[in-house]
Amino acid sequence: MTPELEVVCDVAGRLDAAALPYMLTGSMCLAFYATPRMTRDIDVVIALHPGQTEKLTLALQPHYMIDPEMMRLETARYGMFNVFHEATAIKVDFIIRKADAYRLTEFERRRRVEIEGRPLWIVSREDLILSKLAWAQESQSDYQLRDVRALLHGTFDRAYIESWIGDLGLLEIWKKVQQP
């Protein structure tokens, strides 16, 4: 198991034990659904309210470096903060789940899977496609477009994706990514 995967599994176990709902997203999930690309990024969407930041801190300490003030600030504004695994210096980005219709639906559709025999929650393939389309549009990143093309080779619910494409403003990039 790679050090990144060990950190992912450790964080997932700690969040499960603390009953803090989460899902792994981003490029780490790409390895589950399609051909992985080299990345050290660990992105975790968490349903965290301002009154729960101490609970998260207790779940992660003493093995993670945490800035409690940044965590409180970013949680209150539905932002993002990071923590670092003490032993490896691997960074974990925590993204506070937003309360809009799409993000609530995305979170409800998360999947419980086993990776290396360890259970954890990950984003659905369809929602990973939508997220990567949004990142590709915002960043003009060829990596994100390649990731989407790799994800399109598997089985997925096209109707679900197309039901959100317009609302999320992704129609043009959706058309672009499907061109040969």
pLDDT in tens, the chain (180 residues): 889 999 999 999 999 999 999 999 988 888 889 876 666 779 999 999 999 999 999 999 999 999 999 999 999 999 999 999 999 999 999 999 999 999 999 999 999 999 889 999 999 999 999 999 999 999 887 888 889 999 999 899 999 999 999 999 999 999 999 887
Which tokens belong to 16?
């499960």
Question: Which domains does the chain carry?
Answer: 1-123 (3.30.460.40), 125-179 (no CATH)
CB 92 within 8 A of CB 7: yes
Cβ within 8 Å of residue 113, ≥6 positions away? 32, 119, 120, 121, 122
Give the tens place of pLDDT for each residue, 124-141: 999 999 999 999 999 887
Question: What letters, b where the CB count within 10 A reaches 16 and e where it falls short, cover 139-155?
Answer: eeeeebbbbbebbeeee
Give the tens place of pLDDT for each residue, 25-56: 988 888 889 876 666 779 999 999 999 999 99
Taking the C-alpha atoms of residue 143 and residue 37, their distance in angstroms, rounded to an integer, is 9
